[in-house]
């Protein structure tokens, strides 16, 4: 085995580092061409490093996926804390950020979903853990757990459409500003009726 500096890296090299460029290239390729397209050669070429250089930082393809997944977790934790103190409210922030806007987190989430589909259990686990984080915040914000769940599902649906499905067909779900606002209005009323009308079935 070679002595790679990676393992469970304590140090954070500055942003534009080769390591970061490799991670971004991996992410890009995952999004654009799926897991099949994200070969070591392709990632290295995209990142502008040699294959050897890539493997210097991440000892294996699995290590590369691990490094990427760690980055996702970090990004998600930051996002959740931003969401908690969003000026327009948690629900507004949450729904709005459920459509792919090309943020770093969006990209990482999409890439992770690709990985999860190819039966990388770590990707599924992290994705599920992030969802749990979200659910907690939304329950806290809207009170009613059924409404919170519906909101999370709408978010999932939005995400699924705009991020996962969106590249093959035009506009599977309306994701315009106006469409989103209407949806947010409805969703916010949803948490109201949940309280106002406890039995209706």
Binding site for DNA (CB under 7 A): 1-2, 5, 13, 17-19, 36-42, 44, 48-57, 59-62
Interatomic CA distance for residues 156 and 71, integer angstroms? 21
Interatomic CA distance for residues 151 and 123, integer angstroms? 23
Which segment (19-27, 55-63, 70-78, 127-135) binds a copy of itself by CB under 8 A? 127-135
Residue 1 lies near a copy of itself (rule: CB under 8 A): no
Cβ 155 vs Cβ 95: under 8 Å: yes
Which tokens belong to 30? 């995952």
Which segment (44-52, 62-70, 78-86, 177-185) binds a copy of itself by CB under 8 A? 177-185
At 183, which helix (H) or strand (E)? Answer: helix 177-196
Task: State in angstroms the smallest separation of the CB of 104 from DNA.
Answer: 20
Q: Select from 16, 52, 102, 168 the one that contacts a copy of itself (CB under 8 A).
A: 168
Residue 146 lies near a copy of itself (rule: CB under 8 A): yes
Interaction partner, residue 187 (DNA, a copy of itself, none; CB < 5-8 Å by kind) = a copy of itself
Cβ closer to DNA: 62 or 140? 62
Interatomic CA distance for residues 20 and 152, integer angstroms? 31
Cβ 91 vs Cβ 188: under 8 Å: yes
Find all residues with CB under 8 Å of 91, minimum gap 6, and list them.
138, 141, 142, 151, 184, 187, 188, 191
Positions in the binding site for a copy of itself (CB under 8 A): 32-37, 113-114, 116-119, 121, 123-125, 127-129, 131, 146-147, 149-150, 152-161, 164-165, 167-169, 172-174, 179, 181-183, 185-187, 189-190, 193-194, 197, 200-201
């Amino acid at each position: 085995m070679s002595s790679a500096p990676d393992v469970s890296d304590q140090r954070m090299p500055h942003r534009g580092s080769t390591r970061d460029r490799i991670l971004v290239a991996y992410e890009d390729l995952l999004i654009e061409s799926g897991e099949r397209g994200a070969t070591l050669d392709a990632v290295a070429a995209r990142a502008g490093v040699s294959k050897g250089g890539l493997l210097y930082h991440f000892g294996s393809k699995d290590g590369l996926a691990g490094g990427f997944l760690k980055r996702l977790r970090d990004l998600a934790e930051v996002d959740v804390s931003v969401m908690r103190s969003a000026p327009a409210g948690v629900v507004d922030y949450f729904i709005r950020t459920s459509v792919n806007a090309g943020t770093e987190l969006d990209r990482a989430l999409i890439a992770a979903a690709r990985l999860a589909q190819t039966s990388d259990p770590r990707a599924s686990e992290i994705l599920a853990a992030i969802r749990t984080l979200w659910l907690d915040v939304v329950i806290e914000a809207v009170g009613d757990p059924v409404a919170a769940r519906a909101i999370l599902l709408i978010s999932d649906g939005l995400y699924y459409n705009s991020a996962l499905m969106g590249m093959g067909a035009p506009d599977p779900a309306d994701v315009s500003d106006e469409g989103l606002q209407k949806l947010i209005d409805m969703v916010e009323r949803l948490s109201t009726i949940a309280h106002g009308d406890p039995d209706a079935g």
